[in-house]
Structure 1
Amino acid sequence: MQKNPREHSRYNGLTSLEPTLPASAYREADAYRLDLEAIWYRSWLMVCREADLAEPLAFRTARIGSQEVVVLRDETGSLRAFHNTCRHRGSQLCQESEGRLKARLLTCPYHAWTYSLRGDLVRIPSKSLPEGFNKDNYPLYRVALSVWRGLVFINLAEDPDGSAEASFDSASRDLSNWPLETLVPGHRLTKVMNCNWKIFWENFNECLHCPGVHKDLSRLVPIYGRGLMARHDDPEWARYADNDAPEFSGGLRAGAETWSRDGRVHGPVFAGLTPAERAAGQTYATSLPSMFVVGHVDYVRTMRLAPLGPEQTELTAEWLFAPDALAQTDIDNIVAFGAQVLEEDAAICEINQKGLHSIRHQAGVLMPEEYDLRHFHEWVRGRHAALQPVKMTSADSAR
């Protein structure tokens, strides 16, 4: 659910009839392959936190569609990313999902081709080499890497545009007052949802479902209980323009301070937040297609997505706290509330996915409050239209 208040003086809602994406876009293998090639293989994708690779020789692997990448910190402390593929005959290099390398080298388990942590081929066990063979021509396939506020992003495009920072949605809010780089995880939740990745983002971008699906959240954020995300989602917003009650202006209910079971903070509040940031209760920044991050007054949540197939998506949520706050914080009270909202979203997304299999349902229709779904659909269509041929076969890009 997108929660960024709009700061203008007009109605947000759609005023014309708008169709959704076709139902086939959420369930067919060809549509999934198109999404991978046009979007996931060409976007900045969050894969982990920089602190997950704190020590030299630490590594993690990440899978995006059929593509597997190893991200590591080399012996000099630099972060690097490569396709998890040997240049000899294509064997997988790292089999574990994370760990620490035993040497300052990556060695293929099949034929022992050995690479430096900068990706250069340094040793081949063959007794002789074919004429014209040059090790310099066979480095690991490098993957672009960018760090934003302690979060590590990769991009599978050979020559990607911009950086992770530039990938954030223009409606994202400024999180500079949250100390993201120094926070530590208090809890991690990983869940596989049986729905297409786009359904998750559609659900994220509207609150029509909130009154029926998120009853506790709707009590905490009263405007959600009206099925709205922001003041200007109401076609009659001008009638309440001077009313700062949270059901009209947004923000948390009176007396609440953060997202938790009881709405109270359960540890130290971040010192650098402005009064407006404290009053908002939640501040979102979004980088399609892989993640969003939410700043609360006493902790930060990150949510990372990975597509597993046409009708399956993996979510990884982390709750991050100041290091000295962990011992003072009732983490269970905080995590229980966020996990409840996540489970509710996952369940309704799966119900949405099941209904899309009707042979009669070719496409849906957007309601006025679903203006951000139209923006998302336009983004998807635009990425599809911009697709240029990529150097991989259709077999490579399907799981």
Structure 2
Amino acid sequence: MSADTITGTETTSRATSAEDIDALIARRVPGHSLEAPFYTSDEVYQRDLDEIFAKNWIFVAASAQIPEPGDYVTVEVGAYSVILVRDDDEQVQAFHNVCRHRGSRLLEERQGAVGNIVCPYHKWTYGVDGKLLFAESQPPTFDKSCFSLRSVHVRNLAGLLFICLAADAPDDFDAVAEKIEPYLRPYDLDKAKVAVFDELPEAGNWKLVMENNRECYHCDGHPELITAYFPLFAYEAEDITPRLKPLYDRYVKAGDALAKVRAQQGVPLTDHRELDSRVVGYQISHLPLDGEGKSFSPGGAAVCKKLLGSVKEAAFGDLSLHMQPNSWFHFLSDHAVVFSVLPTSTGTSVLRTVWLVHPDAVEGEDYDLDALTMVWRATNDQDRALVTGTQIGCSNPGYVPGPYSMVEDDVEGFVNWYVKRLGGQL
């Protein structure tokens, strides 16, 4: 498609109706970036909330963030607020953060611990299982069992917590979880400890944050990351340029060594990629790291002395997981880093990053916080600048969609999944 096929006027026009958005979806050209209204239109943003974030499984937290009964986190998704709390049976529950009396917000803090959930307005009191325990001045006919907190679908996938706000959640989560769980089992994330939690405001539409993550075409802009991370994600042998050939040869050698370690550990050896062929889209791959091959650090050295779970070998590479629509994960021998993106407005979003370590790892003895977080804090900040520039560029009347490169297949996978789900085609 030539640059003249879609004019600047068309790409920057505001989508003002469902029909306009349907037309944008219908004329989306595979292999090209999206038209500007997908990133700049308030109407598209609202449909994103309604069709993507309210109807799909979205990753919201690591279970290690709520390790004890009564521990909770709150999550904001558009107009929704959701409480995730560990109950007295140590199971994770999810509820709408709304009192059943007159609708007051129940919990304001992002995280904390409670014995019971008490409404700040009229003191209606709920157990951590959501049941109404106390409501003063009610008639004899009042039945507390009819006024439990409204539940939200929640799933714990090997220590990763997903919610779905829809009445009927997509039913292929179980099939995907069955494929992914064996890869995650050695890390024992349910018993991990949170070392650091970061929230990074992004001056860009949530999709731009996700698209940026889905490719390494720009990874030369991440000098801290590529000291250990091979910037070859989604590259095939035929994509390798002369400049990348020495790096690729090192990557192949490291991959052969990792394959032997994976076989000894007894983990699955086949990678999977179903990004746009099912509702719960995902890809999972186990990649070697450069240098020592142990962690995200200069030269691939370890950043924590204690290995996660039942991992036996420090040089265990990087298990990389992508989940549609809003998350990605890196699992190393000595720590894990989990990421989630949530929309906050048409042109803004928030990136949440959590670093997880062994539950017995002691800060200052087994790991140093700066060393643990240096690579991804730097990378996140560099990506934030790239996303900001892209949001500004997509808002420019001169923007027209451009073609993806040969190594941006996973960007296409994300965008294709998004367009299908937005249009009800998947």
TM-score normalised over the length of structure 1: 0.78
Q: Secondary structure at the match of 2:98?
A: coil
Q: Tell me whether 1:246 sits opposite 2:251 in the alignment.
A: yes
Equivalent of 1:96 in 109, 113, 116: 109
> Equivalent residue of 1:177, what SS?
helix
Q: Assess, with a 3 A threshold, how the Cα gap between structure 1 residues 168 and 369 changes in structure 2: closer, same or farther.
A: farther
Q: 1:269 Cα shift?
A: 6.2
Aligned to 2:297: 260
* Closer/same/farther in 2, CA of residues 120 and 186 from structure 1, 3 Å limit: closer
Give 1:387 shift: 8.4
For 1:220 and 1:58, how far apart are their aligned partners in 2? 35
CA positional deviation for 1:256: 4.8
* Residue-by-residue CA offset, 1:21-49 (whole Å, 9 max, x unaligned): 21111121111111111111122223323
Per-residue CA deviation, residues 191-240 of structure 1 (Å, 9 max, x unaligned), is 111111111111111111112x1234334345x2xxx4245163469xx8
Partner of 2:129: 118
Spell out the pairing of 1:379-390 with structure 2 (5 A cutoff): 379-386=417-424
**2: CA distance, partners of 1:78 / 1:217:** 36
* Cα distance per residue 1:355-378 (max 9 Å; x no partner): 111123243322222111111111
Alpha-carbon distance in 2 for matches of 1:152, 1:28: 30
- Cα distance change, pair 301–173 in 1 and its aligned pair in 2 (3 A): farther
Is this contact kept in 2: 1:168–1:286, CA < 8 A? no
Matched, 1:72 2:75: no
Contact residue 64 and residue 189 of structure 2 kept, 8 A: no
Alignment of 1:154-193 (within 5 A): 154-162=163-171, 166=175, 174-193=183-202
Identity %: 26
Q: Distance in 2 between matches of 1:194 and 1:353?
A: 7
User: Does residue 1:199 correspond to 2:208, yes or no?
Assistant: yes
Selected match of 1:313 from 349, 355, 376:
349
Equivalent pair of 1:167/1:287 in contact (CA under 8 Å): no
1:339 alignment partner, SS class: helix
2:217 to 201, 204, 208: 208
Would you say the 8 A contact 2:208–2:391 is kept in 1? yes
Alignment of 1:211-290 (within 5 A): 211=220, 213-222=221-230, 224=231, 228-232=232-236, 234-235=238-239, 244-246=249-251, 251-268=288-305, 270=307, 272-273=310-311, 278=315, 281-290=317-326
Q: Distance in 2 between matches of 1:172 and 1:208?
A: 29
CA contact (8 A) 2:48 2:422 kept: yes
Counterpart residue type for residue 296 of structure 2: W
Alignment-derived partner of residue 359 in structure 2: 323
The residue that corresponds to 2:381 in the other structure is: 343
- RMSD over equivalenced CA pairs, Å: 3.4
Distance change in 2, residues 1:120/1:273 (3 Å): closer
Which of the residues 355, 365, 388 maps onto 2:403?
Answer: 365
Quick one: distance in 2 between partners of 1:330 and 1:177?
Answer: 23
Alpha-carbon offset, residue 156 of structure 1: 0.7
State the alpha-carbon separation in 1 of the partners of residues 359 and 142 from structure 2: 52
| Aligned-partner SS, 1:245 | helix
TM-superposition CA deviations, 1:342-362 (whole Å, max 9, x none): 111111111111111112324
Alignment match, 1:393:
none
Contact 1:27–1:311 under 8 Å retained in 2: yes
Residues 188 and 268 of structure 1, relative CA distance in 2, 3 Å threshold:
same
Q: Taking structure 1 as reference, are residues 116 and 47 closer, same or farther at Cα in structure 2, changes over 3 Å only?
A: same
Distance 1:107 1:76, change over 3 A: same
User: Do the aligned partners of residues 173 and 305 (structure 1) sit closer, same or farther apart at CA in structure 2, a change above 3 Å counting?
Assistant: farther
Gaps of 5+ in 2: 1-28, 256-286
Give the Å deviation of 1:160.
1.0
Going from structure 1 to structure 2, the CA distance change for 1:189 and 1:128 (only over 3 Å counts) comes to: closer
Distance 2:178 2:424 in 1: 18
The runs of 5 or more residues in structure 1 that have no matched partner are 1-15, 389-399
Give the Cα–Cα distance (whole angstroms) in 2 for the partners of residues 361 and 171 of structure 1. Answer: 39
Letter in 2 for 1:215: P
Q: How much has 1:261 moved relative to structure 2?
A: 3.0
Q: 1:44 touches 1:167 (CA, 8 Å); kept in 2?
A: no
Partner residue, 1:152: 161
Stretch deviating more after TM superposition (315-324 or 373-382): 315-324
2:68 touches 2:86 (CA, 8 Å); kept in 1?
A: yes
Matched residue, 1:396 = none
| AA aligned opposite 2:305 | P
SS at the partner of 2:380? helix
Distance 2:193 2:410 in 1: 32
Provide the C-alpha distance between the structure 2 equivalents of 1:92 and 1:338, rounded to a whole number of angstroms: 34
**AA aligned opposite 1:348:** L
Q: Secondary structure at the match of 1:20?
A: coil
**Highest relative contact order (Cα 8 Å, sep 6+), 1 or 2?**
1
Alpha-carbon separation, structure 1, partners of 2:303 and 2:352: 23
